[in-house]
Structure 1
Amino acid sequence: YTSQRCSHVNCSFTHDDNRDGDEFECLKCGREYHADYNAAKNIARKLLQNWHKSGSGGATSHLALKSGTLNVNGIYTPTTV
């Protein structure tokens, strides 16, 4: 359900009627994303949470997305151009 769950850190609402083709719109907070991008952010957050729980290396965890980075707390930092 990664493309049906809102990837915004303060929402995470899941509903099976919030996708229209490639578009995702959260029925709770109203945010709109490309459905694949929304899913990628949800997967990245889950990976970071699992890596953080494993305690591997003790390094700060960030995942790079094309448009920015996502840290273990779900905070998204857009890339500045």
Structure 2
Amino acid sequence: MFIAFSLFPFYMVYISHKPDGEFGLWELRHFIGMAALQAAAQISIGWYILKNRVPQYVILSAVCMALSFQATFGISVVLLANT
């Protein structure tokens, strides 16, 4: 589910896209909100893993989730910069 959730920025880029290629902060408010939400999720999961004893598969899944979030946001930012 988290991997599918990390693809949500692409949807936000699609919604905020104008035909002339201009992007303003008002159009990107959902994209910026998702970035803040996913950053808070990564910090809270990392803090939980740091403070509690968890199995190795939980750590691996958290790392995969964080990498997926970072990759999709990086690709989305590159796509926004090139429009």
Asked if Structure 1 and Structure 2 have the same fold, meaning a TM-score greater than 0.5 normalized by the shorter chain, the answer is no
- The normalised TM-score by structure 1 is 0.39
Bigger Rg, structure 1 or 2: 2
TM-score w.r.t. structure 2 length?
Answer: 0.38
Q: Which has the higher helix share?
A: 2
